[in-house]
Amino acid sequence: MSVSGDQKRELERIRNAPTSPQRLVRRAQIVLLRASGCTQGADQVQTAAEVGVSRPVVILAVRAREVR
């Protein structure tokens, strides 16, 4: 998964804003972690553990990002 510089800045803004809904913060964290070089499979489990969500949540967040 790749993100442009502008997309990365926007995701970081969402992640760091104290008023962002937690659902958006988690999605931003997932996308940023996956874009940093994580691959499929076991790394989905690692991403889930780092963000504090389940593996299916990681899969859904990645799919939602790919659709956009």
* CA dist., res. 51 & res. 67, Å (int): 21
pLDDT of residue 42: 61
Confidence of residue 64 (pLDDT cuts 50, 70, 90): confident
What confidence score (pLDDT) does residue 41 get?
Answer: 55
Where residue 53 falls (left for φ over 0; alpha for ψ -120 to 50; beta otherwise) is: beta
| pTM (whole model) above 0.75 | yes
65 pLDDT tier (thresholds 50, 70, 90): confident
Q: How do residues 11-37 score in pLDDT, each as one tens digit?
A: 999 999 999 999 999 999 998 988 887
